Amino acid sequence: MHADVRIIAATNRNLLEMAGQRQFREDLYYRLAAITIDLPPLRDRRDDIAGIAAVLLERIGKSWGGQWTLSKDAERRLFTYDFPGNVRELRNILQKAAALADGPVIQANHLNFTGARPAFAAHAASPGAVRDFGPAPSVQRGGAQPDDLEALLRQYQGNRRRVAETLGVSERTVYRWLRRDA
């Protein structure tokens, strides 16, 4: 059997340099390096942020069954951030913002750039209000508070996977917290 295979791989490391230092197999480097594309980090291509954000929001919308856009203020706020996690971090920020948004337009206050301090929509409060729950449950000793979990479960119609994504924890952790609070 013959197979014609092309491998697409991405890394944030200099594999050629690592191969020279014998930290990466040189033969593997030359197999992978047939065509290389060097992309600068997102912080160095701020002009691309709006376009990438639009594509990511479209994907999030298809996945979640919604449709979101960024307000001009939210777009400007994205330009001020360095994105140490690059496009993955931008995607995570936009997912959380979409979860917080009360409608189809994500506002600047829905954007949360600190992975350790997510904010969640407090639907019991006034419309558009955002409540800060402090450090993410994954970094608190006791985990998420029962009221917070209940609010998120209502918001996501019982979908534990989406609650876990919003909290930045595994679905199993959410399940464990729910059993703890039962």
Q: What is the DSSP string of 76-135?
A: HHHHT---TTHHHHHHHHHHHHHHH-SSSEE-GGG----TT--EEE-TTSSTT-EEE-SS
pLDDT at position 122, please? 31
In this structure, the answer to whether residues 8 and 85 fall within a common structural domain is: no
Tell how far CA 4 is from the center of its chain: 34
- At 140, the pLDDT band (50, 70, 90 cuts) reads very low
Do 72 and 7 sit in the same domain of this protein?
Answer: no
Co-location of 3 and 55 in the same domain: no
What is the average pLDDT score of the chain? 80
What mean pLDDT is predicted for residues 157-173? 82
User: Tens digit of pLDDT for each residue in 123-134?
Assistant: 323 333 333 333
pLDDT at position 159 is 87
pLDDT confidence of residue 117 = 32
Q: Is 72 in the same domain as 88?
A: yes
CATH number for position 101: 1.10.8.60
Same domain assignment for residues 97 and 163: yes
Report pLDDT for 126: 33
How large is the average pLDDT for residues 106-122? 62
Query: 25 is in which domain, residue-wise?
Result: 1-38
High-pLDDT (> 70) share of the chain, %: 81
CB 94 within 8 A of CB 57: yes
Looking at the structure of the chain, the number of domains it has is: 2
Residue 67 tokens read as 């449709």
Task: For residue 45, give the 3-state DSSP assignment.
Answer: coil
- 74 and 26: one domain? no
Whole-number percent of the chain with pLDDT over 90: 37
For tokens 């006791």, name the residue: 142
| Same domain assignment for residues 70 and 148 | yes
Residues 156 and 172: their CA atoms lie apart, in Å, by 17
- Position of tokens 């350790």? 116
Q: How many other C-beta atoms can be found within 10 angstroms of the C-beta atom of residue 60? A: 18
Amino acid at 171: E
List, for residues 56-108, the tens digit of each pLDDT value.
999 999 989 899 999 999 999 999 888 888 899 999 999 999 998 889 999 99
* Predicted confidence (pLDDT) at residue 138 exceeds the cutoff of 80: no
> Which residues, 6+ apart, have CB-to-CB distance to 102 below 8 Å?
121, 127, 128
Give 131's strand partners: 120
Specify whether 64 is located in the same domain as 98.
yes
Tell me, yes or no, whether 55 and 32 share the same domain.
Answer: no
> Are 31 and 50 part of one and the same domain?
no
pLDDT at 29 over 70: yes
* pLDDT tens sequence across 53-65: 999 999 999 989 8
Are 71 and 156 found together in one domain? yes
What does the alpha-carbon distance between residue 69 and residue 82 come to, in Å, rounded to a whole number? 21
Residues 91 and 177 in one domain: yes
- The 3-state DSSP class for residue 35 equals coil
